[in-house]
Amino acid sequence: MSPPLLAARGVAAGYHQRRVLHEVSLQVAPGELLAIVGPNGAGKSTLLKVLSGALQPWGGVVELEGRPLQTFDRRALARRLASLGQESGSAFAFTVLEMVLMGRAPHLGALRLEGERDLKVAQQALERFDLLPLAARSINEISGGERRRVLLARVLAQEPQVALLDEPTAFLDLKHAAEIFSRLAQLRDERAMAVVATLHDLNAAALYADRVLLLKDGRAVGCGRPEEVLTRDNLRLVYETEVYVGRNPATGTVMVLPAAR
Amino acid sequence: MAVLMLGAALAAWACARQPIPATPGQRIVSLAPSITETLFAVGAGAQVVGVSQYCDYPRAAARLPKVGSFLTPNVEAIVGLRPSLIIGLDTASNDRELRALARMGYRLLLVDDDSLEGIENGIGRIGAMTGHGAQAQQVLDSIRARMRTVRARLERVPPRKVLMVVGHDPLVAVGGGYLDELLRMADCINIGAGLGTQWPRLSIEYIIAAAPEVVLDGQMGSDPQTPAGFWSRYPNLPAVRNHRVFGYDENPVLRPGPRVAQTLEILAALTHPEIFGLPARSPGGRR
Amino acid sequence: MDARAKASPMPPAPQRSAPEARDVAAIGQAHLTRARMAEVLGTLGVALLAVCVLGVMFGSVRIDFLRALTQPSSPDHAILFAARMPRVLMGAVVGAILAAVGAALQALVRNPLAEGGTLGISSGAAFGAILALVFAYRVGGGAGIVPLAGFAAALLSTLAVYRLGQMHGRIEPFSLLLVGVIFNTFWSALILLINSVVNLYQTRSILFWLVGSLEAPTYREVAAVGALGAGGFVWLMWHARDMNLLSLGDDPARDLGVDVDAVRRAIFIATSLMIGAAVSVSGMIGFVGLIVPHILRLAFGADHRLLMPASFVAGAAFLVAADLIARLVIAPGELPVGVITALCGGPFFIYLLRREGHRGIAL
């Protein structure tokens, strides 16, 4: 097993006086897709913010390549770690291509325009998410699902070692959601990029994630391979409802259905 | 700043609350410096019970209760003085207040001070209304005599091109009215005249093109901290080249009252120093 | 997901479609290239030059250029070199400052309606400058204190508007504009308060500040304001790319490597310095910072690496042109240029407000 690329040890965090995370630990290796799942308010997004450095943990430590996150300067960190948040666009009408090229910012000096290689990276990212026909469109004129893909393409153009994705498939229909997961899986394999994603959809987590971290009230209930973590007992405890856990007949992976009437 | 304002407000309030001095006959409120001067000049000074905040001449007038300015007369302060006659200027800016006073039944006299004729009429009417008609006539005679003297000394003197501005920031010039009349009497060609407005805002380009031989700048007179620096930017102006840029004091020059003859003498002296002698250090003569 | 996107078939696998994929660089206006920057800035530069030539050629009086150039003692020479040229140059400098500051403030608050005037920063600067003017005369201080006081008051206004325009840590576009309106009213009231305790001449000067005018500047003033403007502009340019990222929101900008607090501080200080300098010589000339960046954004895109220099150049051209109109309409009298920009800008602001309100400013 390769050494962890990103690791959190005993992280506690919160906002103002309210503690959201208690003693959460995790680690991600290159080429690994870790899904963070759990009910609303379990602390998924907060954990992601701590991992990205946007939120200072109250306790514990986050390390990237074995170095504490705070020791990286902003730009150096942005070259290694990319985040997909819940942003909705811009006050100004940037084009889709400009938006994706913004992912190159941490790689460029203050006054440098994007060069040939930056354009090539952006072009590949656009292709990856079927956005090439939209390249010249304004970011404020496209649909919510398309914008989500643009932001994913930007994460890709950033060429990070770790991508932190907050609900990457929000606003996406079934087909595009599936496409995105398969492409993230490709990237993970091709570039050994580590992906940490918060997910609502337990079945997607089971299908695409290498490992799953299950959170409840800011504490890790389980962390491991999907079939180890997404058990009937764990899910009943975390979601406080009856569930059916079976096998997806098409893929053989874990499948979760609500079972309460 | 706030303390200053508060102090001023308190002082004004205290003044307004002073017991009204008992004066025989009329109780007159004057709403403009020129009117106050006329009242005192015709001998009705003792009947004046209130003046505008800009009234500072003669000195006795400065001590009277203040009732706002001719732009915004303070109706309550005026009524509080129980005037039997209110004398104001015939301008639009105080129209609302004056109409309110008229509705309350106060006797109003409006005078026009835009032209020499208006000023003279005003002096005559104020004299008549206050029972000092004879003195008013004396004032008018004296004005006319002094003006004739100035005119006589300027005979056979070539006219001089003059720019008279109220200030240079912005450049607002004398274009008409009594000052334009006085300039013409002082044998001047007023380059601000004939532009269709009484107070034209001139461009510096126009001024350079018109090449005035004398510049009279009111801003310099009132504010000695502003040196002739502004005009030295344009060294090619004949007035600047020949050191004929003068300040003037708005008191009395901008007071269209019984001191118009003095104003004419000042303007004539500033524009024709070779006849009248070089102007004194403080042009316009502070009191 | 809109219907058109659904209807289009998903290309099979990205690798296989790569050979036929259109080259992104060929998508003309989709991103900023050096060639496009050169083209746009070149065109605007030529336009600025043309407007300046017109501004020098025409004025409230007609002059003989041959005489102006050959006879240094002629009035034509004086009009050209002592009156017209410094004025055109001052128009260019002030216009450049106002437009570039507008573009930077819009990025800072993520709102295309922001500008020194609409946010109440210019009136803050005017208050500071007037206060200094009145008191400098009283205590006999130097003239240098006036722009400095303008800067200090502008910085104070910017910080206050920025803080008060936020609700729960987010900038709310409409509450921001309301705070701007209130600041404008507040500063104007303070200016009128000063106005009521000064003498007649200062009263006139104060009025002149409130409308904004380029009357009778000196080369020294042009040089001083030009130097401050250029310095501030270079500082802002250094953060032009960060402004792009900042317009996405604080969190995305931070995630893309921007030191958000440092950029914000730079914009606060640089724009305040520039507004303070401009206002101290020309008073409050409104709407330039609103009109110019908006039209440029429509024409050339939102990238601040082009928008900022383009605003700088086009703002200069715009104000020189507006001032030319102000000098000509009632010649040989003249209007304050602020009247012309406000006459253009008022309706433009309403149009923008309705447009942005309709679209719901994306934040």
Mean pLDDT along residues A99-103: 94
CA–CA separation, A213 vs A47, rounded Å? 11
Series of mean pLDDT values for 10-residue runs along chain C (363 residues): 38 38 53 89 97 93 90 89 93 97 93 88 90 69 71 88 78 79 90 77 72 85 93 96 91 91 90 90 90 91 94 97 91 83 86 65 38
- pLDDT over 80 (residue A253): yes
Domain tally, chain C: 1
Q: If you average pLDDT over residues A104-111, what whole number do you get?
A: 87
Within 8 A of B226 by CB-CB distance, chain C residues are 137
Question: Amino acid identity of C65?
Answer: F
**Alpha helix ranges (H) inside chain C:** 3-7, 14-17, 34-57, 65-70, 75-78, 85-109, 121-139, 145-164, 173-195, 200-211, 219-238, 240-246, 250-255, 260-282, 288-300, 304-328, 337-359
Q: Tell me, what's the pLDDT at C29?
A: 57
Which of these, C64, C171, C184, lies nearest to C115 by C-alpha position?
A: C184
Closest in B204, B222, B233 to C201, CB measured? B222
CA distance C319 to C51: 10
Domains and CATH numbers, chain B: 2-142 (3.40.50.1980), 157-276 (3.40.50.1980)
Measured between alpha carbons, how far is C31 from C26 in angstroms, rounded to an integer? 10
C21, part of any domain: no
pLDDT at A36 over 90: yes
Q: How far is B1 from chain C (nearest CA, A)?
A: 8
pLDDT, tens only, B191-233: 999 888 888 888 889 999 999 999 998 876 655 445 567 888 8
Query: Is C338 inside a domain boundary?
Result: yes
Look at residue C311 and tell me if it is in a domain.
yes
So what's the pLDDT on residue B225? 47
- Which residues, including other chains, have CB under 8 Å from residue C224's CB and lie 6 or more apart? C147, C277
pTM recorded for the entire structure = 0.84
Mean pLDDT of B140-164: 93
Query: In the 8-state DSSP scheme, what is residue C337?
Result: H
CB-CB neighbours of C306 under 10 Å? 21
Q: Are A215 and A235 in contact (CB under 8 A)?
A: no
Residue B284's pLDDT is what? 38
- Where do runs of H (alpha helix) occur along chain A? 44-52, 74-80, 96-101, 116-128, 144-157, 174-191, 202-208, 226-229, 232-239
Nearest to A52 among C8, C21, C255 (CB): C255
Please report the pLDDT score of residue C360 as a whole number.
Answer: 44
Task: Supply the pLDDT for residue B23.
Answer: 41
Crossing angle of helices B116-129/B133-153, nearest 10°? 160
Say yes or no for a CB contact (<8 Å) between C34 and A113.
yes
Over residues A205-224, the pLDDT tens digits come to: 998 899 999 999 999 999 99
Domain span holding position C277: 35-357
Residue-wise pLDDT for B110-126, tens only, equals 998 889 999 999 999 99
Neighbours of chain A (3+ CB pairs under 8 A): C
In this predicted structure, what is the pLDDT of residue B62?
87
Whole-angstrom distance, CA of residue C227 vs CA of residue C221: 10
- Which contacts (CB < 8 Å, 24+ apart) does range B173-181 have? B173/B199, B173/B200, B173/B201, B173/B202, B174/B199, B175/B199, B175/B200, B177/B114, B177/B115, B177/B256, B178/B113, B178/B114, B178/B115, B178/B116, B178/B118, B178/B119, B178/B256, B178/B260, B179/B253, B179/B254, B179/B263, B179/B267, B181/B115, B181/B116
CA distance B120 to B220: 29
The pair of structure tokens assigned to C53 is: 């030539």
β-strand A211-216 against A219-224: which pairing, if any?
A: antiparallel
Averaged over B134-160, what is the pLDDT? 93
Strands A18-28 and B28-30: unpaired
Reference C120, options C173, C176, C194; nearest CA is: C176
Report the pLDDT value the prediction gives residue B278, as an integer from 0 to 100: 60
Going by the DSSP 8-state scheme, the letter that residue B46 receives in this structure is: G
In a domain, C9, yes or no: no
Calculated CA dihedral for residues A50, A53, A57, A63, nearest 10 degrees: 90
> Which residue on chain C is closest to B234 by alpha carbon?
C82
Kindly state whether residue C12 falls inside one of the protein's structural domains.
Answer: no
Q: Which residue of B has its CA nearest to C58?
A: B205
Mean pLDDT score of chain B: 83
Are C24 and A54 an interchain contact pair (Cβ–Cβ within 8 Å)? no
Nearest by CB to residue B5, choosing from C193, C208, C215, is: C193
Contact between chain B and chain C (3 or more Cβ pairs less than 8 Å apart): yes
Comparing C-alpha atoms, which of C106, C116, C138, C249 is closest to residue C183? C116
Q: Tell me, what's the pLDDT at C4?
A: 38
A186 φ/ψ angles, rounded to the nearest 5 degrees: -60, -50
**Mean pLDDT across chain A:** 89
Q: What pLDDT score was predicted for residue C350?
A: 83
Between CA B109 and CA C326, with CA C204 as vertex, the angle to 5 degrees is: 115
Note whether residue C13 is domain-resident: no
Whether B contacts A, i.e. 3 or more CB pairs less than 8 A apart, is no
CB A238 within 8 A of CB A220: no
Q: Is the pLDDT of residue B242 over 70?
A: yes
First-to-last C-alpha distance (Å) of chain A: 44
Look at residue C144 in the predicted model and tell me its pLDDT: 67
Average pLDDT over residues B95-115: 87
Q: What is the pLDDT of residue C38?
A: 94
Size of interface A-C (CB pairs under 8 A): 153
Q: Which amino acid is at A25?
A: S
C5/A143 CB distance under 8 A: yes
- Per-residue pLDDT at B283: 41
Give the other-Cβ count within 10 Å of B28's Cβ. Answer: 28
Q: Which residue of C has its CA nearest to B166?
A: C201
B61-83 per-position pLDDT tens digit: 888 998 887 677 888 888 889 99
pLDDT, position C12 = 39
Please report whether residue C88 resides in a domain: yes
H helix or E strand, kind and range, residue B172: strand B171-173
Question: How would residue B21 be classed by pLDDT, with cut points 50, 70 and 90?
Answer: very low
The whole-number pLDDT of residue A122 equals 92
DSSP string, A16-31: TTEEEEEEEEEEE-TT
Contact A54 C251 (CB under 8 A): yes
Tell me if residue C109 falls in helix, strand or coil.
Answer: helix
Tell me what pLDDT residue C148 has: 81
Domain holding C62: CATH number? 1.10.3470.10
Cβ separation of B203 and C73 shorter than 8 Å? no
A128: its two tokens: 């990856």
Q: Nearest CA to CA, how far is A137 from chain C (Å)?
A: 8
pLDDT at B92: 65
- Tell me if A114 and C110 make a contact (CB, 8 A cut-off): no
Sequence-distant (6+) residues with CB within 8 A of C133 are C146, C202, C205
pLDDT band at B99 (very low <50, low <70, confident <90, very high): confident
A88 pLDDT higher than 80: no
C-alpha distance from residue C223 to each of A187, B54, C278 (Å): 56, 40, 12
**C269: in domain:** yes
* Residue C159 DSSP class: H
Phi, psi of C132 (to 5 degrees): -65, -40
The pLDDT assigned to C295 comes to: 92
State how far the Cα of B19 lies from the Cα of C103, in Å rounded to an integer. 61
Residue C74 Cα, gap to closest chain A Cα (Å): 48
